[in-house]
Chains A and B, each alone.
Chain A
Amino acid sequence: MHGGRGVYRLAQVTAGATFVLLVLGALVTSNEAGDSVPDWPTAFGRWLPLEQIVGNVVYEYTHRVVAATVGLLTLLLNVGLWWKEKRAWVRWLGGVALLAVLGQALLGGARVLFLEHRFTFALVHAFMAQFFFGLTVSLAVVTSPGWPPLEQSRTEVRFPMSLPRLCGAAIVGLFVQLLLGAGFRHRGMGILPHILGAVGVSALILAIVWSVRKVTREHGGGLRVISRPALWIAGLLGAQLGLGIAAYLARRAARFDPQPLEPMISLTVAHVAGGALLLAALLVLTWRIFGLSGMKRTAPLLQSAMGKL
């Protein structure tokens, strides 16, 4: 059924490389380096402009190189999935990831080339980055040897109906929140929508953590497959809120700086990275809840739906 350990490792590496790419993208934005290379896909008309990689070009060019690496990894992962993976829906998930990474590359190019629409393209590019990261994390989860967790679970797990819905709402909310954060970072909108979004997403996440805690207590404190990611989510939420406040205060304090400086850069990048990790942890938890509760019922439906495509 599974693609084997090789495909799982490749999915893990792709997700890890995507996280590095997200951090590099945040560095590009925080250093105001997005337009340092005015052309695309070449850089200053060449593929390897060694002597021109100075100043902010370092961030932009590295971002492009790592992006190409991630694209290549996604292609390899797809080859692995279509070769080894038996589950059609997982193969299709890989296909979606491949399309997303290609679309993301085009969006990055559009962000550079269509300056008058740079805010829109920057926003969609930031959103797609997290969406693609979510796909790679999902692929790593569903190709892992421990998937689905139902097979490892000795007892039947009953979740409250609200938990999967809460997880779905939190994922959607987190994507909206990531968009609002990108809107503020790219100076297209104020901070207020992002603050309101943080309140809403925090409430959803706290409800999830509380609900998971209740379920695990009912099972005598076991179910580490869900209690561990829930713990991570709680910790990351706290860190993320702290980082968000710190990043905003640093940005305010730096408003008259002659250039982007520390600690504003590091705090902003850490906040973006924290958002991505929170999304990853939430996806792991959601997949595992899905795997524990409804895999046996839902998988055949998913399989047949994908088979019709």
Chain B
Amino acid sequence: MRIWKSPLVLVLTLAALNLQCGKKEEVGEAPKEEGAAPAVAYQPTGDEGTITGVVNFVGQPPQRRRIQMDADPVCVQKNPNALSEDVLVNNGKLQNVFVYVKSGLEKYSFPVPSEERVLDQNGCMYRPRVLGLMAGQNLKIITSDPTNHNIHPTPKNNPEWNVNQPPGSEPIIRSFPRPEVMIPVKCNQHPWMRAYIGVLRHPFHAVSREDGSFEIKGLPPGEYEIEAWHERYGAQVAKVTVGAKETKQIEFTYTAGQAYRPGSLRLMPALVLPCCEKGTTRAVALK
């Protein structure tokens, strides 16, 4: 009896071990830093400042690639000339960079906005491609396509889920309980569909627009680390001090053609995403 049971036993043992080892904490409040003082609810004083800036791109941006949607005729019909959107550069300015306050707000807590953020599936592409949310804030997923989609975020610190959304169906409302920058979202039925969601414990973030500009408003006066994150060129950080009612400008600059260090050549990198070319990270506080 032992002989024929052994493969099954192996499988069950491995699965059980993984289920034990991989158990995540119950969903609830965002984890608090050990030893950190309890955060107090921030009350606006009228002294809040603003950070504005621009994301530059130096060098020749990679050529946008045609997306082959032939596997789903509905996608081809709706979006016949689809091009890749991972690197969007206009006149030396980089779009879709997620800019957020990385540190400096630990002593405050902020209410979760009641309004939902919308992620649309349109032309078999996600709109927007990059967006930010507060932990616990609702994400409303809608579909404008007359074809099936599955929505599959692959977080590391939040529960993972994968749901199907047929054409014309009701919006899907979900939220992420823990802060995490960034959560990749994909549609496995249309593998070119990619979006990235930044989940924060505060509302201070922006995504660079077509002209590379961004603006973060309503910041309490203080010293901050501002991080810019791009899906291909990685992250860079700028330090900035915002005074009462002050507007500070910062600039991030990414450079094309940096050497790529493939994660797959490392000995045992766990779940490395093949996304992040390390670009030059240069951030300058202008004022």
Contact = CB atoms under 8 A, between A and B. Distances in A.
A74 B224 CA distance: 64
Contacts of A309: 1, 3-4
Interface residues of A, number: 52
B86 interface: yes
B271 A119 contact: yes
A32 B264 CA distance: 17
Contacts of A96: 3-4, 7
Interface string B154-187: 0000011111101000000000000000000010
Contact of A117 (B22, B148, B267): B22
Contact of A32 (B4, B67, B84, B188): B188
A115 B158 CA distance: 12
Given A38-B164, A131-B7, A260-B191, 18 more contacts: A54-B71, A55-B190, A99-B8, A115-B161, A115-B162, A116-B159, A120-B14, A120-B22, A121-B15, A124-B15, A189-B269, A191-B264, A192-B267, A255-B274, A258-B192, A259-B67, A259-B192, A309-B3
A193 interface: yes
Chain B CB within 10 Å — which of A37, A92, A99, A255 has the most?
A255
Interface residues of B, number: 57
B68 interface: yes
Given A120-B18, A258-B84, A36 B189 contact: yes
B80 interface: no
A285 B23 CA distance: 44
11 contacts: A33-B191, A38-B152, A44-B148, A99-B4, A116-B24, A120-B18, A120-B22, A190-B264, A190-B268, A256-B232, A261-B68
Interface of A: 31-39, 44, 52, 54-58, 92, 95-96, 99-100, 103, 107, 110, 114-117, 119-121, 124, 128, 131, 184, 187-193, 251-252, 255-261, 309
B163 A190 contact: no
A107 B10 CA distance: 12
B11 A124 contact: yes
Nearest to A132: B7
Given A54-B72, A56-B191, A124-B14, A116 B22 contact: yes
Nearest to A110: B15
B268 A256 contact: no
A190 B266 contact: yes
A39 B75 CA distance: 23
Nearest to A31: B191
A190 B188 contact: no
Contacts of B166: 44, 52
Interface of B: 1, 3-5, 7-8, 11, 14-15, 18-19, 22, 24, 62, 65, 67-68, 71-75, 84, 86, 147-148, 150, 152, 159-164, 166, 186, 188-192, 232, 260, 262-274, 277
Nearest to A131: B7
Per CB-CB distance, the 7 closest pairs between chain A and chain B, nearest first, are A259-B192, A258-B84, A120-B18, A36-B188, A115-B160, A35-B188, A55-B189
Contacts of A34: 188
Given A55-B189, A117-B15, A187 B24 contact: no
B108 to A, nearest CB: 31
B1 A38 contact: no
A307 to B, nearest CB: 13
Given A190-B268, A259-B67, A261-B68, A56 B189 contact: yes
Contacts of B4: 92, 95-96, 99, 309
Contacts of A107: 11
